[in-house]
Structure 1
Amino acid sequence: MLKVKRILIVEDDKSIAELERDYLEIDGFFVEIALTGQDGLNKALKEEFDLVLLDLMLPGVDGFQICKTIRTEKDIPVLMVSAKKQNVDKIRGLGLGADDYIVKPFSPSELVARVKAHLSRYERLKGKDVQNEIIILGLRIDQASRRVFVNNHEVIFTTKEFDVLTFLALHPNQVFNKEQLFERLWGFDSLGDISTVTVHIRKIREKIETDPSNPQFIETVWGAGYRFKR
């Protein structure tokens, strides 16, 4: 018997939240709504959800802080939803660990499509048979438990950051441009923003490199893309 996927919507505009809920429920999801940031954060941490739809502009605790906190406790897709169109907000949200950034207004069918795509991809990643570990110098990637260690100290990675790092480490000395990485790791380029690749590479370097400006693991090949040195 298939498990019904549980979605948490954190949105202070009740009409928007109910519209999102209705379309998701039509597609068979179980949906809960939180109308304040604090309520949404409490639900996200205390209850079990498969995905969170998170507005940025919320009373009390804002979406950025909620995303950051969820990422320290949960390994689930987080999709940010906002009327803020500036790239700086997108970059900040993606940098905090959001899996996607959806700009209002949007069509409900597009929202459902993105939710399904992220859930499907997450399930594929969780269900894969993977080799145990990749060890290069002081970097250790445990694929089975999806954990990363730098000099024997565990470093917390978001789902996407782990996917990007593992993909590059499994293809050492090969150059991949942003378009190739986005297509392989996000898998639905028509619905996403390719700038997320740059954001994730920067965050990964900050976590694994002694000097992110002079990386020893993930180097930039100017005009071509990124390469994992081995």
Structure 2
Amino acid sequence: MSRLLVVEDDPDISLALRLLFTRAGYEVKQATDGRSGLKEAYVEHPDLVVLDVGLPEMDGWQVLERLRDVSDVPVLVLTAHGQEAEKVRGLRGGADDYLTKPFANAELLARVEALLRRSAGSQNNWASQIYDDGVVHLDPTKRRVYVKGEEKRLTPTEFRLLNALVRHAGAVLSPNQLLAQAWDDPTGIGQERVKFAVLRLRRKLGWSEPDDSPIESVRGFGYRYRRNGGDA
């Protein structure tokens, strides 16, 4: 049975979500503000988080940011705002999906089921050999990454994304290819996730400036890892 964490401060919506998910066969944990939601996520390790944006104590964006620092748990963001900027903000922050209130129960359940399927199938069988090019040292077995000798903490998706890029060093990988290899999502839905994940990955590895980063954006095609700063 999959465990869901619902972080929602509206008592009526919270109750409705609990009934909906329980009847669908899920185990449901709930929190009514951002801080308690973050604490529940750390303690319970849910399979998916349904996260409202307008929360007291700590808003949904702050919760999402802190979750993404330590976890790759799928996050479905709920918000009353329908503007494109809010959707982009959610994707940029690492949300896996986005649904605007009011929503149909059937659509919400379908999105939750899809995220759980992708999450369950996201353990790719990477080669066990250690990768080391003098800049990046990546150990798939221990799930550790070092840049110039300094260890970097990555989420599972960020680790898979970097692994895909370095294992194909010199080759341009399209967003679809990276979705398939890092997210196990070959459909190409949600390609914007790749862009924002690459931005977060560069920042975590200490490559805030494009010229300093061996992860190169190839306009109109995708991304390429330049081994030791070269093209191959």
* Shorter-normalised TM range: 0.7 to 0.9
Return the alpha-carbon distance in structure 1 between the equivalents of residues 143 and 116 of structure 2: 17
Pairwise CA distance, 1:173? 2.2
Map Cα deviations across residues 14-66 of structure 1 (whole Å, 9 max, x no partner): 23233333332233210112122222122122233222111111111111111
Q: Distance in 1 between matches of 2:159 and 2:113?
A: 20
Q: How do 1:1-230 and structure 2 match up within 5 A?
A: 4-126=1-123, 128=125, 130-182=127-179, 185=183, 187=185, 189=187, 192-208=189-205, 210=207, 212-230=209-227
Relative distance call for 1:124 and 1:133 in structure 2 (3 A) is farther
Amino acid in structure 2 at the alignment position of 1:207: K
Partner amino acid, structure 1, of 2:57 = G
Residues 15 and 29 (structure 1), Cα distance of their counterparts in 2 relative to 1, 3 Å cut: same
* Structure 2 residue matching 1:119: 3-state secondary structure: helix
Contact 2:122–2:184 (Cα < 8 Å) also in 1: no
What is the CA–CA distance in structure 2 between the aligned matches of 1:10 and 1:78, rounded to whole Å? 11
Q: Aligned-pair RMSD on alpha carbons?
A: 2.7
Give the Cα separation in 2 of the matches to 1:104 and 1:147. Answer: 40
Q: Output the TM-score relative to the length of structure 2.
A: 0.81
3-state DSSP of counterpart to 1:125: coil
Judged with a 3 Å threshold, the aligned counterparts in structure 2 of structure 1 residues 73 and 221 are, in CA distance, closer, same or farther, namely closer
Q: CA deviation at 1:215?
A: 4.5
> Is contact 2:126–2:140 with CA below 8 Å preserved after alignment?
no
1:67 and 1:142 mapped to 2: Cα distance?
A: 27
Aligned length: 226
Q: Provide the secondary structure at the position in 2 that maps to 1:101.
A: strand
Identity %: 35
Stretches of structure 2 lacking an aligned partner (at least 5 in a row): 228-232
The residue type equivalent to 2:210 in the other structure is: S
